[in-house]
Structure 1
Amino acid sequence: MRPGAPLTATASYRQPGVVLTDHRFSVPLDHDDPAGERIEVFAREAVASAHGGHGGTDLPWLVYLQGGPGCGANRFVGKEAWLGRALQDYRVLLLDQRGTGSSTPATRQTLPLRGGPREQADYLTHFRADSIVRDYELIRRELTGGAPWTVLGQSFGGFCATHYLSAAPEGLHTAIITGGLPTLDGHADDVYRAAYPRMARKSAAHYARYPQDIERARRIAAHLSEHEPVLNGGYRLTVEAFQSLGMLLGTKDGSHRLHYLLEDAFVRTPAGIELSDAFQEDVQANLSLANRPLFALMHETIYGQGERPTDWSAERLRGEFPQFDPGKALAGDAPLLFTGEAVQRWQFDCDPALRPLRETAELLAARTDWAPLYDTARLAANEVPAAAAVYHDDMYVDTEHSLRTARSIRGLRTWVTDEYEHDGLRTGSPRVLDRLLALARGEV
């Protein structure tokens, strides 16, 4: 079987306005050893019913590069979010990146098949953007007959798109990036040193909108510091874990969702005041990484380049920002600041889906042999039409880092906007995709 060839026959089915076709591909685990071990990659093709469905159209391909890292592709129903706009012009491929979704998932249940922590860590070195893009290239040649395609990269998917422009621009017709222009040469320390002030600003904006939440958050933190409960699903809720609910604050409705979560935290019972079951259930759903454990394992590795280890960067850098110390809030001296978009050791203690992977994570954090991800000379000579949305004060991806990278990619056109948060592609469709396609096509 040649590299990238389908493993199974495709199966097609319908949803409202869309014909979907499932594909499975065999790809090398290590692309530098194509005759070695192979893994399976799953992709779902979507074509608008109006275009005739599978096999009935000669539309060009658009492949969606999912955010994350460690997240499977969106499971849309019909023409949700940006997909409806894309289907007007393209046949769309929604691909589960290796290790996610239905693509040889890497979890606490499956990784022990590789052996112990050392073997698991070595295996996971093949799950970064460089390997992901090489998967795309094998699949592109199979599906398009060698014709280039358009990529739409959201968040980490934009990091993958930037690597694609570095490593295989011949495979690209157009590159569209939303909230995902990475720093080209910055270490993880540079990323988190810029991130903590953004987290503080997002916390301040939340409290300005909902001042009553200052006391609510403080009261919850005080309760957790005394009791440290284990939630119904087994998650150990510490004060630090509670602070990480700030991950919500980088999305359009996240501040409102956080507010509603906080307002019903406590309930009176025969035993006294306790955290309500509803609050515990919502917190567990927001904090557990059971459905995307690679996010925790691989998050800092996406910044690994060269011999310098990432070494739990977010955890180390937090000490430079004492305002995040919950002791200040518990003493009544300051509001409790929320964090987000950061992975730290405590998550591997608190989350039952991550506990068995703690030593594997330690080995990845200590690694000193990361390959470079971006070819700056090639980016400076880029000829692929490209456009990127940069969200002003994006909580997850630093705006200044993104703009510096944008200036390093020849011909890339940027749209800097404060109308949207990091999830603008989802919440602002079809306007966001419309705007970026027009930029890339030179129509505006």
Structure 2
Amino acid sequence: MNLFSERFGIKFLLEGVAGRLFRSLCALGFTAPLLVSTGAYAQSAQQSLQASNQSVEWADNFDIATDHIKEVKSSAPTLSPETADYIAVAIDRYQRIVQAGGWGTVSEGGKALRIGAKDRRVVELRRRLIASSDLEQQAGLSDTFDSYVDAALRRFQLRHGLIPDGVMGEGTVAALNVPAHVRLRQLETNLVRMHAMSGFLGDRYVMVNIPAAEIEAVEDGRVRSRHTAVVGKIDRQTPILNSKIYELNFNPYWTVPVSIIRKDLIPKMKQDPEYLAKNNIRIFDWKGNELTWQQIDWNTDEATQYRFTQDPGSDNSLGSVRINFHNKHQVYLHDTPSKTLFGEGYRFHSSGCVRVQNVRELVTWLLESTTPDWDRSRVDSIIRVGDREDVKLKKQIPLYLTYITAWANADGVVHFREDIYDRDDLYGTGEAADTQARL
């Protein structure tokens, strides 16, 4: 493609529905494929809309409100000293919404809707997004799913921890239909939690927000890095606690906890006697003698009397590094070989430990000021080589495993997450709100 045709292709692409899709995707960072072949992309975008069998509003001139989306993310930490004040402002706003009758619901059922659709439910969606300030009122109540609605819905999805795909599917509709008075109760409950965490947390600390399945590395009052996490299942919850990170294990062995031996390993061995061998897990008695799987009665709990150890390697359940902190629950932060889980909207899959996306960045940050002879290149090198090495931090770093399902930032953006462990006390019994306040 020569310079003229490339510019002409981009000019063509920026007009019409394909142009709006282009600008929407650019605002969210998806630009690389467009630079490869703009003409092909314009054609495929248009074909995609036509193939959806939905009526398209070709005359839509709205531009995506990029600033409206950018303000959702903040460099201020969730546990900032000001967060309680931001929540109080949000409570006042949501009280007024509730007093005005709340917001309407979006009809369930039917096909998923996305940009280009023309459907009566889009009117309901617009009304709902206007009520929560995700969509500007001047956007109107048309039944066309235009770029304004697309941007507003993505903003809503980001605020609620959903994948921001701009699609009004089943999960997004469920979040849209949570009543305003329930969201108000969430804010009130989390204001109590914030006050309980309002003291000085440290110049450098790590915060895991369990309902958000997200980690923040905080330094001098700003978020140095955020990491997607995978946390405990509903029946194997990640504990709420305050602790300190004291050690890193590179290319670690994994000693299988008794709870996992009982709940997972024994059932899997009954199904497949080769399970241990396939996963490089060896059996030892407590004197260090190695056993074979045939020496154990798998129809009983006898296996819980032995130590099961997985060798380091690419399939090790802890991945390349384990981050140790003081606790009585035998949990820790760690890498994982199952990295596809980080791309899911629902990330409650572990047995209580916290899996960390981009763990090398977090590890380097933990080491750089406390153990200065370590840097990113050395971290990469030891993981690449596969050598076992334990590193004690010269200065322990505070860690907070928290349970925050609603908070707000300086831009007035209010975040909500699903009350995955049912701790929000939404019906006013007073028990759940006190759980974290006592810590």
State the TM-score bracket (shorter-chain normalisation).
under 0.3
Whose Rg is larger? 2
With the length of structure 1 as denominator, give the TM-score of the two structures: 0.25
With the length of structure 2 as denominator, give the TM-score of the two structures: 0.26
